[in-house]
Amino acid sequence: MKNHSYLLGLLLLLQAMSCKKYLEEKPSIKLGVPTSVEDYQSLLDQYNVMSDRDASSGEASAGEFYLTDADYNARDEEDRRMYTWQNSRVYKAGGNEWGYTYSSIYSANSVIEAWEALPDTDKQSLKWRDVAGQAFLIRAKCYLTLATIWCKAYDPNTSANLPGIPLRLNTNFSEVSIRASLEASYSQVITDLKKSVTLLPITPLHVVRASKPAAYGLLARTYLWMRQYENCRLYADSCLMLKKDLINFNTLTASATYPVSQFNTEVIMANKMGVIVPILSPSRARVNPEVYALYDNNDLRKTIFFKIASGITTFKGSYAGSGALFCGVATDEVYLMRAESRCRSGNINGALADLNLLLSNRYKTGTFTIYNSTDQAQLLNIIVKERRKELFGRGLRWPDMKRLNEEGAGISLSRIIAGTIYSLPAKSSRFAMPIPEDILQLSGIFQNSY
């Protein structure tokens, strides 16, 4: 564990400086490395580092939450610029979500390199297969987060020529960072997730760790955002064959401070967004009235997800069981992905079965009227609306808007601050967040074009 502590010290250093700067300074401390599978598992089990600070910039920009003018004016310039969808200077220098995400990738790469260097007989031990599978999944999830926040929407006709993200696949500090194509970025996500499926157990020791159902769920999510709906359906099927639990919301206490418990039966893998973007702080983030209006009075999510006090609507329904925003994988999302994919392929009965099963667990007992529409376009609109309602505050809306706009949805955003209107038109290049300027300076990668 002494060696493990040394490596943690290195990771903290890396969060505060780029690899280039780190190399230039050549710290004199002699750094050790983990040696056993238990050491590497401990590295991945740092919940506050690996699972508790996922990037939240997309959620902050998606328009589901808003700030009062007073709260907006009290924020730093970078926060105000992010809130109004500016194309530069939306992150403070130093620690930011981009750097933290690559810190997690570095940890995953450390594990993968150690596993790949083992003799074949050792590689096949259950402990090593498990920890390596976790590392491949963590790396894939990090790359997917980076691609969906800081890149344009995936399109099969253009992604080979669009900039993606730097694909750091080893722990070599001196390797120059370059932005791979968006096609290559998504391909790496798929490759890593498929590798993790072959290694991970069906049931993890705890849902803070990765598992085979989590890998299937993330494959379905990735293919959804790639608009490869048949593959999305295939992997959603695979996930639900292993994990299909749903909570009956009639069993929850709507008056509780946080009605949905952490690590509840729907959670396949637990992750939370870090409160790095102050816009999302529970003390100031208000719920967009347009979203709240989507829930009718018999829909239990209206009182389980939201609290109204002094005329202000706030969110209390996080699957993190707290004010933090859950962004892991859960069965409700997987049912909705399969419903949408089934609908798009013409399997109306299958789509209805998934949709009605979910909603029958969300409405007051005896009040839900099942959907039975055979109109494909109408049913698709219902499923997309229910996806927005069910998955509120999970970091999924930003990439959802991007891929739906590629389908012609025409979703645009606007905010009014002190009488001034700020807009983000559908398919604007600003749907790809600007990469932090300090990262550009220290790594040499290029900024998105606006």
CA dist 42 and 136 (Å) reads 16
What is 86-100 written as a DSSP string?
-SS--S-SSS-HHHH
Whole-number pLDDT of residue 275: 65
pLDDT at res. 32? 54
For residue 390, give the H/E element and its range. Answer: helix 376-390
- Residue 436: helix, strand or coil by DSSP? coil
**Where are the domains positioned within the chain?**
2-250+327-443
Closest CA to 104 of 149, 148, 134, 61: 134
pTM tops 0.85: yes
Return mean pLDDT, the chain. 93
> Is it true that domain 2-250+327-443 has CATH number 1.10.8.100?
no
CA-closest candidate to residue 18, choices 440, 448, 446: 440
The confidence score (pLDDT) of residue 278 equals: 82
Q: What tokens appear for 187 in the block?
A: 């391909």
Q: What is the pLDDT of residue 14?
A: 41
Q: Looking at residue 317, what is its pLDDT?
A: 98
> What's the pLDDT at 95?
83
What is the Cα Rg of the chain in Å? Answer: 22
- Quote the CA–CA distance of 221 and 235 in Å, as a whole number: 9
Give pLDDT, residue 279.
Answer: 87
Distance, CA of 18 to CA of 36 (rounded, Å): 28
Distance of CA 6 to the CA centre of its chain: 29
User: DSSP per residue over 212-278, as a string?
Assistant: HHHHHHHHHHHHHHTT-HHHHHHHHHHHHHH------GGGS-TTSSS-SPTT-TTEEE--BB-TTSG
b/e per residue 63-90 (b: at least 16 CB within 10 A): bbbbbeeebbeebeebbbbbbbbbbeeb
Q: Which stretches of the chain drop beneath a pLDDT of 50?
A: 1-31
Residue pair 201/132 in contact by the 8 Å Cβ criterion: no
**Whole-angstrom distance, CA of residue 144 vs CA of residue 156:** 16
Residues 6+ apart with CB under 8 A from 319: 260, 262, 264, 266, 267, 270, 326, 328, 330, 394
Q: If you count DSSP H runs as helices and E runs as strands, how many of each does the chain have, helices first?
A: 20, 10
